[in-house]
Amino acid sequence: MFSTSLLWIASLVALATADGHSQCTTGQIVCCNDLKSADAVANLSSITGLLATEAGLFGNVGVRCSTLTVIGEGKSCIANQQPLCCLDNNYNGLVSLGCSPINAMLA
């Protein structure tokens, strides 16, 4: 009984860590060409309609983002894009607000 429970728990942990979403519990994973602080993004208000002070509330900004693609069996970003965990604030792929880098490579 104990060994069956232990095996079941180990399987769940393996699935959770293999998914990649376990590193992004507050938003969605996107692939962005660049990550900048909200203060460093020029003309943010003209792109998003937000004032610079409002954008500052969201932290880092992902620039030129797309959704995570499925390549083969794994999930990954293409070319020089980096995986980021962002809030659901995507403005036609130009920027995503509230982003933080995902440390582990997605496979």
Residue 26 is predicted with a pLDDT of 72
Residue 33 is predicted with a pLDDT of 92
CA atoms within 13 A on the CB side of 98: 15
pLDDT digits (tens, 9 = 90+) for 7-19: 333 333 333 333 4
> Which domains, and CATH codes, for the chain?
20-101 (3.20.120)
Q: Where are the alpha helices (DSSP H) in 20-106?
A: 44-48, 52-56
Tokens read off for 93? 């792929």
Dihedral sign of CA atoms 37, 39, 43, 46 in order: positive
User: Which residues contact residue 3 at a Cβ distance below 8 angstroms, ignoring those fewer than 6 apart?
Assistant: none
pLDDT digits (tens, 9 = 90+) for 40-91: 765 555 555 555 545 555 678 888 888 876 665 567 788 889 999 988 666 7
